Amino acid sequence: MKDFNLSDLSHGDSLQQQLAECAKAMGGNNYFLQLLEAIREAQPHPIINNNCEFRYALGNIKWSKPIFRDKLTLLKQGMKINKNGNIFPKEGIKGYKSILNLLRTLKPITFNVQPKNKKDGPGFTIQPFNIIDEKTTFINPLFEAVFFSPVYQVKKILNAK
């Protein structure tokens, strides 16, 4: 997973601000961090659940379409390999078709995160990708932070001044 650097984050699209809004929508930083810890502890990874739902003590996450283990593996590889962030494959590279299929599969999926108690907040939604144009697709930093980045790293970004 990418090592987020606070100085690299753009002013208008700040990951810190997005994380703070998500934490507020879940009832606060502690509730949000408990969500992240529950995701990290779950085996196998929660997004490959056939029920398209992940439940934890303080809420749940639902999505519309099952994601299979091969897509999860390919997504993790894409996050590691592409240093510039663009995961859209260059034509002719090994695995071009499988990466393109991954993008087509995950693009329409929206992850709805809801707290168990409605008084805690309204919850939030996450899209896996930020699509810039037909040849440029980035993994949504918020999606990466919630599902893949180490909790200590997310906490560091969330608490940065």
What percentage of the chain carries pLDDT values higher than 70?
A: 89
Structure tokens at 111: 């992850």
**pLDDT digit string (tens) for 2-47?**
455 444 444 334 889 999 999 999 999 999 999 999 999 999 999 9
Crossing angle of the two packed helices 96-106 and 69-81, in degrees rounded to 10: 110
Average pLDDT of the chain is 86
Band of residue 84 on the pLDDT scale cut at 50, 70, 90: low
**pLDDT digit string (tens) for 123-133?**
999 999 988 88
Band of residue 81 on the pLDDT scale cut at 50, 70, 90: low
In this structure, the strands spanning 129-133 and 136-139 are: antiparallel
Closest by CA position to 113, among listed 146, 138, 156, 144 = 146
What is the model's pTM? Answer: 0.87
Q: Where do the structural domains in the chain lie, given as residue ranges?
A: 6-159
Q: Widest CA span of the chain, in angstroms?
A: 51
